[in-house]
Structure 1
Amino acid sequence: MSKAGAVSSLTLVRQLWEYAGLPTRVLENTIRQGGLELVHDPSVYGQAVRSSFQITAVAQACTATIALAAQYYKRLIQARTKLGGEEEDVVLGPVSVDARHAVAEWKGWTRIYLDRGATGVGVGEMIRDSIASDSDEAKQVLGMDAHAVADWDSLAGLYRTRPAEAREVAGIVRIHTNFPHHKLGILQLLGLVPNSKHWTDQDIHEVFAQFQHSHLQERLDGWDAFEFERRAHERGLCVTAYRTLSEWEQSPMGEAVRRWIGENGGSPFRMSRLTASTSHTPRAHTATERLRVIDMSRVIAGPYSTRTLAAHGAEVMLISSAALPNLPLRELDTARGKRTAYAHLERGEKLPRKMRRLVEGADVVSQAYRPGGLVERGLGPGEVQALRPGVVYAELCAFGFTGPWAATRAYDSLTQTACGMNHLEGRSYCEHTGQHEVEPKALPVQALDYAAGSLLCLATLAAKCRGILEQMPATSGGEGDQQKGWHVQVSLASTAEWIKSLGQVHGEAAWETPPHHVLPVDADQLAAMASSYRVRGLKSHAQDYERQDVFVLAIRHAAVSAPDSGAEDEDDLRWSVPAHLGVDTLRWN
């Protein structure tokens, strides 16, 4: 019997497949022939995590639909190569996704294991002998800055502001300070640090160490929540005011996001065409099973999208700049299976030759900088399409591509707070526990990040599939234009609207029956979900050789099996993680 209010993961798989514009008969053939197995579907077994939102079904459905789309892309490549057209009755699979594994992956859990030379050590033993990724010992082994932030900076979080009149909720803001330039900006806005300080100053961490949550709270007591949000946005800082659902829906930002989704037929992502350029003769490019993906994203959502592509066999090149702050502890999880190189891109200047060649050889360019940020550096969708006709340009941002917050910087936690999700979650919990005052309650995992990254990944694969289908006589007469590219767009806010539209689960089904912990408490269950990833590019202290004895333990992608001991050399990269950004050369293998 279905749990009251719980959405079926299979229903969401069908919905996402339709949003992606992929052939219905392929999915239904696969389901009918038993090619899709959804283990612990929440509509039967209940939620795998404590929340009023349908996070379990979203995680399982996103993971399964991506796996099917990845298989379909490879099948289409094979059909075009061998048969000259699509197979009549395509059946994909087998694809098996456990809901509990899918949710656990969204926790972003990692540990560090140091190989002591023992043979036959299993993942369970590695976990028992591992050390915390954010421990001083791990940072020293990995050569990380001692100040590297783990999940949350000490000053990040919720703060009370001046009491709000005629509002249903108290005045509260959420602040994100994981990056040093954002942290410094908040301290300067509150008048705690002189404007002359810069985040690259040698003593900046000594400056940061002077302040605790209470120092910021004392200053924010005199601010109006919306005024502080506005002033922070003017400075490019990461702050949102705590809103109810009705406040969000009545705001210009909320209206813009919902209008954008409505134009997509209800889909949280958009897939549009990029017109071919005739300005120059492009290099010849033949689609292969292994996609080449340029990843220009940071934090979680964008990197998770490309990490998922890597898990399904793509060659992913993660590009960053040595001049940008980064989150090395987070990258232990999100950079798995990728190569990584630095590139220096100046505003208003031509692309460096190596970067240009990389783009010309890419199938996908995936980026998650603020809208327009890469256009200034010659890497907007039009510029990339001109260099590589037929490319998929995948783009992710926080609050959407229209409206007054289109260029506003934000992250998962800030989006939850702004769009009413923290209030809805808190109200559901309050009603169950009998508390008098509704407190903002965050989701148990950063579901907007992981779901948005999943949607970006799915739409990217769907664009590749649809591009091939257009060339096949059996589907479109073979009249598709190979020079046309695709522009894929998704935002954290559009993802939030989709998740909210699925409804909520309340009472015991949300707050009592599901496991208390996102990760399995049982060691064997955790080991079954985890894999080891060799850290590559890590120099010994003597700097004369690369260490081979350091591994990251992490939750394996829920649609991918654990590696065999005799894995092919070309797949070794999938089971490794770069020690830091920039360890590789800026070119394709």
Structure 2
Amino acid sequence: MAATAEAFSRAISAALGDADAGIAVFTGLGGLPSAFPVTDFAAGSIAAAGLALARLVGAGSGTPPTVTVDRRLASLWFGASIRPVGWGLPAPWDPVAGDYRTRDGWIRLHTNALHHRRAAERILGPQGDRDGMAAAVAGWDKGALEAAIVAEGGCAAEMRTAAEWLAHPQGMAVAAEPLVALTEAGGDTPSGWRPQPGRPLAGLRVLDLTRVLAGPVATRFLAGYGAAVLRIDPPDWHEPGLEPDVTLGKRCARLDLRRAEDRATFEALLGAADLLLHGYRPDALDRLGYGAAARRALAPGLIDVCLDAYGWSGPWAGRRGFDSLVQMSSGIARAGQDWRGADGPVPLPVQALDHATGYILAATAIHLTHDRLKTGRAGSARLSLARTAKLLLDAGRAEAGADLAPDIGSDAASGLEPTAWGAARRLRPPLAVDGAAMRWDLPARRLGSDSAIWP
């Protein structure tokens, strides 16, 4: 039997040690068509973040507010939350990204970043379209091609079954990791911040060093309850297909941490931050001189939450990866193929690993913020897309039921959002926490639009 939204929510709260987190109210019927219970996964992960927030709000009064999740809206937010008016979102995928048949199976190439595409083309030759790439891939064995592209600094994943993944050294390593690995920092570092009535996270400074897609989902959630989120990107990074969706409520600046002046700015920002979320590969900040010990020295009271793709132990710790690749590696895409009786991989209908991990990250950040208020000690946490995938795989297959109705006009909130690209409608929030409305003080904006200063 597939897990319900409540079961997912309980599992996430339990991973945080919040056995008394409470139970959310779920509304709506139907689900996204999939081999897995994706709608329950969406609703349950959003509920876990809402319950963490309610627990924080209720700490003073002793009575946490009621949390309600709309399953339909949760499913839609796992796709895209924005509906442009008179303009269109850029294509989300590079022209040659996608699934390809090899001599012995299937492989997925992730080429959205230019340097990842160039890595693949150093192995397969320059390709102008999918037909050319398909011809180049066809002569390879999937495992050999995956290894060659990864060795070049690219991103690829062969399609495995769930059983093959569980028997793989990395699959075994991920299975042994907790969903959320929590660590308490030593020393007392009490916080002067306190939750605000009606706007619980107002005044909480969140330094956002995350990219596609889980981390930006987490910080968008925190901004929705008042956190001051400052996203920092390097000078040459762009996410044109995602920026209108995930920069909502945030300030977005750029720094080059190879420049002394920008490093000084970053260190000042970090020292004044309450919370850091980062999604770089495990050694990336270390190579810049900002490993865990250095971050703690610069900001002793910092709550430090990080994620990666394939986990923090095992031979693939630190491997480049994205939601679609983890779905191929872990057996999700193959299970979808079997469910549909298809000729090739069938991924989840939305990037559910990214989105669910984003809400689990938000729940984790709020949990650690609550703990710091109680104990005076800051903590840190690690999560990964691959471990979130295990949570979904362990839930079992989706039960047959009615599909969700198509997106309709009433799903959008009233009023227009003046984004940097033009007017847009935003979906109504999927979560209601009594006495604390989810809303954003800033419209979506382009990366690099703001100065690297705290408001």
Fold match (TM-score > 0.5): yes
For the 8 Å contact 1:552–1:577, the answer to whether it is kept is: no
Q: Report the counterpart of residue 305 of structure 1 in structure 2.
A: 218
Q: Report the counterpart of residue 172 of structure 1 in structure 2.
A: 106
Q: Report the counterpart of residue 298 of structure 2 in structure 1.
A: 387
For the 8 Å contact 2:191–2:372, the answer to whether it is kept is: no
Cα-to-partner distance string for 1:207-228 (whole Å, 9 max, x where unaligned): xxx6111111111121110011
1:551 is paired with a residue of what secondary structure?
strand
| Deviation, structure 1 residue 16 | 2.1
Q: What is the aligned residue count?
A: 446
For the 8 Å contact 1:534–1:575, the answer to whether it is kept is: no
Cα-to-partner distance string for 1:70-103 (whole Å, 9 max, x where unaligned): 2322443xx3xxxxxxx5xx22223221001001
Quick one: distance in 2 between partners of 1:296 and 1:248? 30
| Deviation, structure 1 residue 552 | 3.1
Q: Report the counterpart of residue 52 of structure 2 in structure 1.
A: 69
Q: Does structure 1 residue 186 correspond to structure 2 residue 103?
A: no
Q: Does structure 1 residue 155 correspond to structure 2 residue 96?
A: yes
Greater Cα offset, 313-322 or 14-23: 14-23
Q: Does structure 1 residue 133 correspond to structure 2 residue 67?
A: no
For the 8 Å contact 2:35–2:336, the answer to whether it is kept is: yes
Q: Does structure 1 residue 514 correspond to structure 2 residue 403?
A: yes
1:535 to 405, 409, 419: 419
Quick one: distance in 2 between partners of 1:464 and 1:240? 36
Q: Given residue 343 of structure 1, which amino acid in structure 2 is its aligned partner? A: L
Cα-to-partner distance string for 1:285-334 (whole Å, 9 max, x where unaligned): 5123222100001111111111111112111000001133x112311101
2:284 is paired with a residue of what secondary structure?
coil
Q: Report the counterpart of residue 235 of structure 1 in structure 2.
A: 152
Q: Report the counterpart of residue 310 of structure 2 in structure 1.
A: 399
Answer 1 or 2: higher relative contact order, Cα 8 Å, separation at least 6: 2
Q: Does structure 1 residue 344 correspond to structure 2 residue 256?
A: yes
Change (3 A) 1:572 1:500: closer
Q: Does structure 1 residue 523 correspond to structure 2 residue 389?
A: no
For the 8 Å contact 1:350–1:378, the answer to whether it is kept is: no
Q: In the TM superposition, what are the counterparts of 1:405-444 in structure 2 within 5 Å?
A: 405-430=316-341, 439-444=344-349
For the 8 Å contact 1:532–1:575, the answer to whether it is kept is: no
Quick one: distance in 2 between partners of 1:6 and 1:259? 22
For the 8 Å contact 1:300–1:450, the answer to whether it is kept is: yes
For the 8 Å contact 1:294–1:362, the answer to whether it is kept is: yes
| Deviation, structure 1 residue 6 | 4.1
Change (3 A) 1:532 1:20: farther
Q: Report the counterpart of residue 199 of structure 2 in structure 1.
A: none
1:491 to 369, 384, 398: 384
1:576 is paired with a residue of what secondary structure?
coil
Q: Given residue 346 of structure 1, which amino acid in structure 2 is its aligned partner? A: R
Change (3 A) 1:350 1:230: farther
Quick one: distance in 2 between partners of 1:109 and 1:391? 30
Q: Runs ≥4 in structure 1, deviation > 6 angstroms?
A: none
For the 8 Å contact 1:295–1:316, the answer to whether it is kept is: yes
For the 8 Å contact 1:245–1:420, the answer to whether it is kept is: yes
Q: Report the counterpart of residue 576 of structure 1 in structure 2.
A: 443
Quick one: distance in 1 between partners of 2:186 and 2:135? 54
| Deviation, structure 1 residue 438 | 5.5
1:272 is paired with a residue of what secondary structure?
strand
Change (3 A) 1:334 1:288: same
2:353 to 437, 448, 460: 448
Q: Report the counterpart of residue 17 of structure 1 in structure 2.
A: 13
For the 8 Å contact 1:533–1:575, the answer to whether it is kept is: no
Larger radius of gyration: 1
Change (3 A) 1:6 1:306: same
Q: Given residue 555 of structure 1, which amino acid in structure 2 is its aligned partner? A: L
For the 8 Å contact 1:336–1:533, the answer to whether it is kept is: no
1:132 is paired with a residue of what secondary structure?
coil
| Deviation, structure 1 residue 461 | 0.8
Q: Which runs of 5+ in 1 are unaligned?
A: 80-86, 114-129, 135-149, 165-170, 193-209, 262-267, 431-436, 471-481, 539-549
2:412 is paired with a residue of what secondary structure?
helix
Root-mean-square deviation (CA, aligned residues, Å) is 2.5
1:574 is paired with a residue of what secondary structure?
coil
* Residue identity (%): 29
Q: Report the counterpart of residue 453 of structure 2 in structure 1.
A: 587
Q: In the TM superposition, what are the counterparts of 1:307-326 in structure 2 within 5 Å?
A: 307-324=220-237, 326=238
So what's the TM-score if we normalise by structure 1? 0.71
Q: Report the counterpart of residue 213 of structure 1 in structure 2.
A: 130
| Deviation, structure 1 residue 380 | 2.6
For the 8 Å contact 2:253–2:449, the answer to whether it is kept is: yes
Quick one: distance in 1 between partners of 2:125 and 2:109? 16
Q: Report the counterpart of residue 541 of structure 1 in structure 2.
A: none
Q: Report the counterpart of residue 140 of structure 1 in structure 2.
A: none
Q: Given residue 359 of structure 2, which amino acid in structure 1 is its aligned partner? A: S
Q: Report the counterpart of residue 271 of structure 2 in structure 1.
A: 360
For the 8 Å contact 1:7–1:502, the answer to whether it is kept is: yes
Quick one: distance in 2 between partners of 1:370 and 1:182? 15
For the 8 Å contact 2:205–2:227, the answer to whether it is kept is: yes
